[in-house]
Chain A
């Protein structure tokens, strides 16, 4: 579904990503874990065309290595940026409608919005509230709902649990699992390795810009090195 081959990213003189290759099969949740500054966010930003890169990216068999971010989103590969990045001065409804910016089928958009409202009933209740007045968990729902509005087949999420209370973290991961159950493929970047590995079908461990380990979620949960480095022994 999504395949990344030999990705390199430089920030000035810093070699941030070194020869990263990952593959995300259709309908699965794949997670990328690693410490601060390992290059997790850079990987997502490079895939979505927001930073300059070397290497190849294929989405749905199509080479999108040199496509613009707009074209990549329109093609069904959507990024939910770190820190949620909802539009605080627009209403929940307007936020969602902007998610459907790349579509022009009016009735289809209304249908998708109903589907998102059914998935997150709290967004329906707060449809006319400004995005900035929502709680952290609700904002995460909105960010995910907004991404779903373009009817993507792959969603990339950058640190969905960042800055959320433990109870909400659990809720967010339940939401992610629910979205996946609807047939959406997910590439998830997380610092909260434990929660991410539990729902992931496959996982990669990134260390200073390099993939050092990969395996199924359960395998990595049981792996001694991962336990020591990311799960607190």
Chain B
């Protein structure tokens, strides 16, 4: 009975979201729509990092690398051949890629699969490392991807990047993928395998003593996370219509990490909430970078001021509310109904 109610409420929530997006598309300006799109993509990215870091306890800083792989693979598949010929000035694009074309959905999927394959490849040596060392190794991986993208002109067009990527990633694609990611990862972490991942996070020795093949489970979790990071990167490339290696600096990983930590490691609802709040704030706070005139004082605009504010916010979160907005808790329909019912009883008294 509870399950069917939860299902009905989930369907209702998705319908409500769909209605809101439909309304937004007709009534909001392009800039606000763009932010809505970024919200969806950031949630995809943060959910995938939360699976790796929050639920499996693998401190990974390689998200920008997986995003870059997803972005390049899917962009090369959706760029029209004529456009490819035009933008590859330094060196022509190598043969099969220069003519290869795929529909948007397949391209995004391919981006995710490519990222997952790289995740699988590096996870075998890298996941034997623990804690901070893993963070350093994955950060190194992301840098390698960026440097390779910068120099492999025959495939990535080097520092010039890819321009004129078809803008297929509309609000429906982005939110569709976002909901799929949420559904998939929620099902995963609440399954038996999810419990195994949490056990590895809580205590690796004990997990091994249970007969759990720790390395294999970590590899699976890491690769699934990499897949969704690749999907997020692919969607972002199509949304922004232009990518270059400079876009995939550590700062990109940091933004995602900030959402995960602020929302709560090991909380999907926390990630969704933080994804919305932080993406909106990142845009809204642009005003602090504008020049300000107070009376006769004139303060010139300081680029990067937003990130100072965000770094400080992250510092405060870690100092005063380490578990983030939600901790490890989740918002569930049963929880909401329970709260409403209790409140109703109190009002009656």
Residues of B within 8 A of A102 (CB): 210-211
CB pair B211–A73 under 8 Å, yes or no, is: yes
Residues of B within 8 A of A50 (CB): 205, 208-209
Report the nearest B residue to A103, measured CB to CB.
B211
Residues of A within 8 A of B202 (CB): 87-90
From B192, B211, B328, give the contact of A74 (CB < 8 A).
B211
Residues of A within 8 A of B205 (CB): 50, 81, 85
> Dominant SS at the B interface?
helix
Residues of B within 8 A of A80 (CB): 209
Does B14 have its Cβ within 8 Å of any Cβ on chain A?
A: no
Does B195 have its Cβ within 8 Å of any Cβ on chain A?
A: yes
Nearest chain B CB to A44's CB is how many angstroms away? 10
CA gap between A102 and B213 in the complex, in Å: 10
| Stretch of A6-14, A92-100, A120-128, A217-225 at the chain-chain interface | A92-100
CB pair A87–B211 under 8 Å, yes or no, is: no
CA gap between A98 and B193 in the complex, in Å: 10
Per-position binary interface string of chain B over residues 222-257, scored 1 when its CB falls under 8 Å from any chain A CB and 0 otherwise: 000000000000000000000000000000000000
Nearest chain A CB to B210's CB is how many angstroms away? 5
**How many residues of B are in contact with the other chain, CB < 8 A?**
19
Residues of A within 8 A of B192 (CB): 97
B residues 174-216 in Cβ contact with A at 8 Å = 192, 195-196, 198-199, 201-203, 205-213
How many A-B residue pairs have C-beta atoms within 8 angstroms? Tell me.
Answer: 63
Residues of A within 8 A of B196 (CB): 98, 101
Nearest chain B CB to A187's CB is how many angstroms away? 14
CB pair B210–A90 under 8 Å, yes or no, is: no
CA gap between A87 and B208 in the complex, in Å: 12
From A78, A89, A98, give the contact of B328 (CB < 8 A).
A89
CA gap between A79 and B205 in the complex, in Å: 10
CA gap between A78 and B210 in the complex, in Å: 7
Nearest chain A CB to B201's CB is how many angstroms away? 8
CB pair B208–A98 under 8 Å, yes or no, is: no
Nearest chain A CB to B209's CB is how many angstroms away? 5
Nearest chain B CB to A192's CB is how many angstroms away? 22
Report the nearest A residue to B200, measured CB to CB.
A87
Residues of A within 8 A of B207 (CB): 87, 98
From A78, A89, A90, give the contact of B209 (CB < 8 A).
A78
CB pair A73–B210 under 8 Å, yes or no, is: yes
Nearest chain B CB to A40's CB is how many angstroms away? 16
Residues of A within 8 A of B324 (CB): none
CB pair B211–A81 under 8 Å, yes or no, is: no
CA gap between A99 and B209 in the complex, in Å: 9
Report the nearest B residue to A158, measured CB to CB.
B209
Residues of B within 8 A of A86 (CB): 203, 206
Does B266 have its Cβ within 8 Å of any Cβ on chain A?
A: yes
A residues 43-65 in Cβ contact with B at 8 Å = 48, 50
Residues of B within 8 A of A79 (CB): 209
From A74, A87, A89, A150, give the contact of B206 (CB < 8 A).
A87
Residues of B within 8 A of A89 (CB): 198, 201-202, 266, 328
CB pair A85–B211 under 8 Å, yes or no, is: no
Known contacts A89-B328, A90-B195, A94-B195: A101-B212 contact under CB 8 Å: yes
Residues of A within 8 A of B199 (CB): 87, 90, 98
CA gap between A147 and B211 in the complex, in Å: 10
Does A202 have its Cβ within 8 Å of any Cβ on chain B?
A: no
Per-position binary interface string of chain B over residues 258-298, scored 1 when its CB falls under 8 Å from any chain A CB and 0 otherwise: 00000000100000000000000000000000000000000
Does A113 have its Cβ within 8 Å of any Cβ on chain B?
A: no
CB pair A101–B266 under 8 Å, yes or no, is: no
CA gap between A94 and B49 in the complex, in Å: 24
CA gap between A87 and B203 in the complex, in Å: 7
Residues of A within 8 A of B212 (CB): 70, 98, 101
CB pair A85–B203 under 8 Å, yes or no, is: yes
7 contacts between A and B (CB under 8 A): A69-B209, A69-B211, A80-B209, A86-B203, A89-B201, A102-B210, A150-B211
The 5 closest A-B pairs by CB, nearest first: A73-B211, A85-B206, A102-B211, A87-B202, A79-B209
| A-B contacts besides A50-B208, A97-B192, A101-B196, 18 pairs, CB < 8 Å | A48-B209, A69-B208, A69-B209, A70-B208, A70-B212, A73-B210, A79-B209, A81-B206, A85-B203, A85-B206, A88-B202, A90-B199, A90-B202, A97-B195, A98-B195, A99-B210, A102-B210, A102-B211
Q: Which of A's residues lie within 8 Å of B, judged by CB?
A: 48, 50, 69-70, 73-74, 78-81, 85-90, 94, 97-99, 101-102, 146-147, 150
Q: Which of B's residues lie within 8 Å of A, judged by CB?
A: 192, 195-196, 198-199, 201-203, 205-213, 266, 328
